[in-house]
Structure 1
């Protein structure tokens, strides 16, 4: 029986508080990004607040599904990062509660959010998307506000170009006005100049009322042909002139039926019906094209009656086209070539049009299939992003808006690039549509499982020291010793025993250097067939570390400085790569890999020879210091 415990309420409450904030932040960012794409077409049109409110409302509804995964990722990172930073997660684990049990309540809530995302995409999203696109088209078609600038031609009023040299902002009067009226056609242009003018909008907001004072009007006489060299014109001088210009400034909602072919305004059932219809239409077009092709391929040549009778009399079954063409006159050849060229051009145009129809149909089918699967993948992203964010927060143990935000942005960018790139390729036909749409899920789902597994096992995936140690080991980089005088010394070193051990270490190093040619090229076959450990070097290293540990209690600064010269001895790097003999043989057989390993081992043998000499010299120096200070 499922029981809700205080731990579940605590974890869920902590997550919900952060989720609410991150969701509205993500939604606001996506809405601003969406608005920025259309800001140039919407600014300056005097749109009412009601229209703008509808725009933001519908755009917000359509962007909820894409905002949810990022909000869940960021909230999960911050929640479990805060738990780790405040050692609350450590306390829960110390109480015997595994990480998956700690995440249980939030996992159920993430699944609920994924279901809500699917509901929005399948039920609310298509309706909101249609309203949004209808609103956008209507906003684009709305006439802009009349705001004629100074010193440039204003052409936003259809059929007119207006130039104003200066404007009086207090009275609204226009100075030195020049108007080109092309409403009756370019050949019958009217040119009007006035010293002053004023532009007003009529009460019905359907016309502009233009008042002009002290000016002249020029126009061509309509009875004259425009191709004549001298075109008479009429000139009119006026003190005051008034005219109406048709200008609809009202916002009119267009009919959104033209959007019915779009796949993003349909739910899954409607998309499935549309796909079946498009496939049936494409098949019918394909069958018609196939029948026409077969008819063109096997249709017999059309011959005149006289030619047919002549062929039958002479019992000719095969016609040599080249001979017939060569027997023609020059005029007949030209006529035949021209007719053939026209026929081929007509066929090419016809087939290009049919090819466009089939390609457009295939593109519509792929677009519908992609949007059908997108409703599922975007819902699953809510759950996948939680299983990425929560384990990452438990691993990095950093809360707040610093590291979690950076990691969230990086992961979401990877998701967005993979998803948009693969979907675009799939819609173009370069990839299977299902594979392309599910590519982001295929990439991120294993990543979420990996992080969840590592976090549940308390693995230090993002421990920098672990990676530093790995690369140091890979490239053979060692750290130096740092021996310092201890503030409190409980046991003094046994100098006599240490002196004797150092003597034994020096003798062992000298003996090993004589019996092993470390500076010479090693035997290639022996390296990849001998998988035994080097017990001598291991014993030398053990004795050296024990002696260093005992001498670290000394008060003599010179001995401490000498001990800093001791290297960290590698006991296996100069031998075979693996303990398994067959793996060594396999690496040795693969020549490129075996050669690299061979050179790598030779390098460590040279370093071991240098280390042995350093150990001998350092040990002798310490022995000499012990003897000089009479420490035993």
Structure 2
């Protein structure tokens, strides 16, 4: 028994590791394609890129684990069935559950570990990833001069280069417009050649120009009537200009805090706090609106003391409307103007409070979604294995052919259902329990059904079995079809004899 379990476990570990890295590679390519525009042209070091990719990969583990479990289970059981090893085990009296017992234990440990990954590693990786992406977005592009075009990547400076030598990086026909001076003076520099580069720490711009001229337009208190133009000629000019934004800064990762960067205990604390905040915002918004603005004297909506009560059937309101109808036109306009003013004030007051309540409510929905997502991940891993193992035993095909197709179909169904439920839960249309567990509720009966079929050696996906069933049905219906065909022929022949 131990030898069989070792064989099954060894057959599963290889495909599991292989498929996990394949899935993570595909997801990583999607991440790179998404942020490629922000990564190119910033002069990022290999260490920064590797760090960003590592955190992004850690963030994608909850998505890659279920698919790799499903694909590895189908490949393993399909390969055992294709090589008749599974049949030999069943012939020895072993059930499918007993054969997959070591795999169930292994997947159970992986599911428990996935909870700690989603609860501890993923929030930390999200904080780091968000901080690195923010720092990259704040960083300016590196100096890249194109022949005949102005480079405007430096604040208050514009540089045009006629030609740049690709080997020596010597610049020809250099034109610089410099507006950095606070007094408004503008310098225009024209040089035959030179070098412009950033320092090694990217904090300074090193400018070395040869054989050029400087034109300085000086403005004084009478610049609108008199402007001074200064002209200098130089053979060699060197400048060291302090630059900001070219060196990548590192922000504090703790300042990037949202529902995706918190563990389950922090999310539970936020949920409790946000529920109190939403209730308080709703109460402080609706009660004053009803009591002080809309239904001030209407005791049919808000009860009043006995001394101030009027008829609850609304006769008081009807009398008030009748008295308004009898007023002169000008007094009616005043009444309607006052009512319109009160309505506008009520709407403005309610809109201000409603914004606060909406923000808290959106945060509450997102926190609940993330809370349930951390719990549903281990369950989804187990369900995907329970789908993949019996499905592989039924298919009896190994390799990366049919198992990949079936796995992608199931994962796409799971992903669409999960995204739809998550969107409805974040919008508040559904409760977070239904939105995040919808895919589990749908896939669990499928897993139970496939396990039952595989245990009973069902030919659920065997094309030969379906062809035999169709042939048997055709043989049963063949006499009936012959009788119908003969009856039609007889009826046609009888009509011909009568016509003759």
Q: TM-score, normalised by structure 1?
A: 0.66
Deviation at 1:191, TM superposition (A): 4.6
Q: Which residue of 2 aligns with 1:624?
A: none
Deviation at 1:284, TM superposition (A): 1.8
Distance 2:344 2:237 in 1: 58
Equivalent residue runs for 1:103-502 within 5 Å: 103-183=100-180, 191-202=188-199, 204-213=201-210, 214-217=212-215, 219=217, 221=219, 223=221, 232=227, 234=229, 236-239=231-234, 240-243=236-239, 244-260=241-257, 262-293=258-289, 294-297=291-294, 320=324, 326=330, 348=347, 351-468=350-467
Deviation at 1:176, TM superposition (A): 2.6
- Decide whether the 8 Å contact of 1:122 with 1:375 is kept in 2: yes
- Decide whether the 8 Å contact of 1:210 with 1:245 is kept in 2: no
Quickly say closer, same or farther: Cα 1:264–1:163, change in 2 above 3 A.
same
- Decide whether the 8 Å contact of 1:175 with 1:197 is kept in 2: yes
Distance 1:180 1:325 in 2: 70
Summarize deviations over 1:477-517 as a string: whole Å, max 9, x none. Answer: x6xxxxxxxxxxxxxxxxxxxxxxxxxxxxxxxxxxxxxxx
Number of residue pairs aligned between Structure 1 and Structure 2? 463
Q: Give the secondary structure class of the aligned counterpart of 1:570.
A: helix
- Decide whether the 8 Å contact of 1:207 with 1:248 is kept in 2: no
Deviation at 1:368, TM superposition (A): 0.6
Name the stretch that deviates more: 161-170 or 378-387. 161-170
Deviation at 1:369, TM superposition (A): 0.5
Query: Over alpha carbons, which structure has the higher Rg?
Result: 1
Deviation at 1:221, TM superposition (A): 2.7
Distance 2:160 2:215 in 1: 15
Larger RCO (CA under 8 A, 6+ residues apart): 2
Distance 2:471 2:226 in 1: 91
- Decide whether the 8 Å contact of 2:372 with 2:432 is kept in 1: no
Quickly say closer, same or farther: Cα 1:203–1:126, change in 2 above 3 A.
closer
Deviation at 1:91, TM superposition (A): 0.9
Quickly say closer, same or farther: Cα 1:569–1:373, change in 2 above 3 A.
closer
Distance 1:378 1:287 in 2: 36
Name the stretch that deviates more: 109-118 or 21-30. 21-30
Distance 1:324 1:468 in 2: 90
Listed as ranges, the gaps of 5+ residues in structure 2 are 298-319, 492-500
Quickly say closer, same or farther: Cα 1:205–1:344, change in 2 above 3 A.
farther
Deviation at 1:199, TM superposition (A): 0.9
Deviation at 1:231, TM superposition (A): 8.6
Distance 1:359 1:605 in 2: 72
Answer yes or no: is 1:26 the counterpart of 2:18: no
Q: Give the secondary structure class of the aligned counterpart of 1:166.
A: strand
Deviation at 1:446, TM superposition (A): 1.5
Distance 1:401 1:140 in 2: 40
Deviation at 1:70, TM superposition (A): 1.2
Deviation at 1:453, TM superposition (A): 1.2
Q: Which residue of 1 aligns with 2:313?
A: none
- Decide whether the 8 Å contact of 1:19 with 1:72 is kept in 2: yes
- Decide whether the 8 Å contact of 1:148 with 1:164 is kept in 2: yes
Summarize deviations over 1:230-276 as a string: whole Å, max 9, x none. Answer: 8957353433544425234333211233322x111111111000111
Deviation at 1:24, TM superposition (A): 2.0
Deviation at 1:106, TM superposition (A): 0.5
Equivalent residue runs for 1:31-70 within 5 Å: 31-70=28-67
The CA RMSD measured in Å over matched residues stands at 3.5
Quickly say closer, same or farther: Cα 1:204–1:88, change in 2 above 3 A.
closer
Listed as ranges, the gaps of 5+ residues in structure 1 are 301-316, 479-567, 575-603, 614-632
